[in-house]
Amino acid sequence: MTWQARLFQQAADGVEPQAVPQVLLHTGATMPAIGLGTFGSDHAAPGEVAEAVLGAAEVGYRHFDCAMVYGNEAEIGRALQAVMAGGVSRQELWVTSKLWNNKHAEADVIPTCRQSLADLQLDYLDLYLIHWPFPNHHEPGVDVRSRSGNARPYIHEAYMRTWRQMEMLVDLGLARHIGTSNMTIPKLELVLRDARIQPAANEMELHPHFQQPELFEYVRAHGIVPVGYSPLGSPNRPERDRTPGDTVDIEDPVVVRIAAAHGVHPALVCIKWAVQRGQVPIPMSTRRRNYLSNLRAVTEDPLTPDEMAAMAAIDRNCRLIKGQVFLWREGQSWEDLWDLDGQIAL
């Protein structure tokens, strides 16, 4: 039986959704403290990701992180319909989607959000993010040396024109919250200065070898929830995104030692650490064993204060998703995307 043909059934070995920790947003709403990522990348077809969404909901997930550019929202929409037909109310779900880089024009924001809603078969999104602060599109699967012919740097006035349309989505009831992704402190300072509706979340790369402590503390201090992608160090990222200096979080001796003490896989130590630290991890897996283990990890056997301190000490500042395809002129390095000197690169 295919996933489209079967009914939703709450799993006997799953986690009660009420047992999953919640994160409080500045609006007073709550978000489940762990979500299922849906970026299938090169290794999971849309139908396989949709099957994972249905299976994850059956074991207790209620938070799903989607994006139009992932190319699977229509399939996920059918899975979400099966979940709701099985008795899970829309209000119990938290669904995020994202505005892709070629849709930053003012005329494109609202229609693009409506298209995601149509594909996901929803009336509203809980959170809608601007996927990258650069309107620099690239085709799926391109080499990191690929560059858009229209690529340009972050231009705050242009970003705020896009943000005004994001604010309109809230006014129209199409998105309950709006947020940013892949931002830096210099960029966020400008957005917070000029926004009518402040970002509810910033999605960012976060894992034990890339803890981003300054940005992490900045967003939390400003009432912005840090949502962490690649929480396991992205072991399945495409080959094109790998560089010689990359490290492997789940092979770190500290992570391995703590995992042995708890009798779990090292990946689960990364998940426990993330939630206890105060970020919302969105690990992606299509394997039931893995996504169920990830969910259980945040509801039982927490890390001790000493273990949390040991995890804090293994940060290697190792960014894995460098974003080279979003650069805008020749001779640049990926560091220009991330404002490492505190200035927005032009």
Active site residues: 70
The answer to whether residues 198 and 224 touch, using CB atoms and an 8 Å cutoff, is yes
CA angle (296 as vertex; 290, 298 as ends), nearest 5: 115
* Strand bridging mode 225-229 / 201-205: parallel
The one-letter amino acid at 104: H
| CA neighbours closer than 13 Å in the CB half-sphere of residue 87 | 6
Residues facing 226 on adjacent strands: 202
**311: its two tokens:** 């995890």
Which run of H or E residues covers position 36? strand 36-37
Q: Which two tokens stand for residue 234?
A: 């992205």
Give the type of residue at 289. R
Backbone angles phi and psi of 218, in degrees to 5: -65, -50
Torsion sign, CA atoms 215, 285, 95, 92: negative
Pairing assessment for the beta strands 30-32 and 22-24 based on DSSP bridges: antiparallel
Length of the chain as a residue count: 346
Q: Which amino acid is at 228?
A: G
What are the residues whose beta carbons fall under 8 Å from the beta carbon of 21, sequence distance 6 or more?
Answer: 32, 33, 34, 275, 298, 299
- With residue 227 as reference, give the H or E element that holds it: strand 225-229
The SS3 call for residue 155 is coil
3-state DSSP assignment of residue 296: helix
How far is 210 from 338, CA to CA, in rounded Å? 14
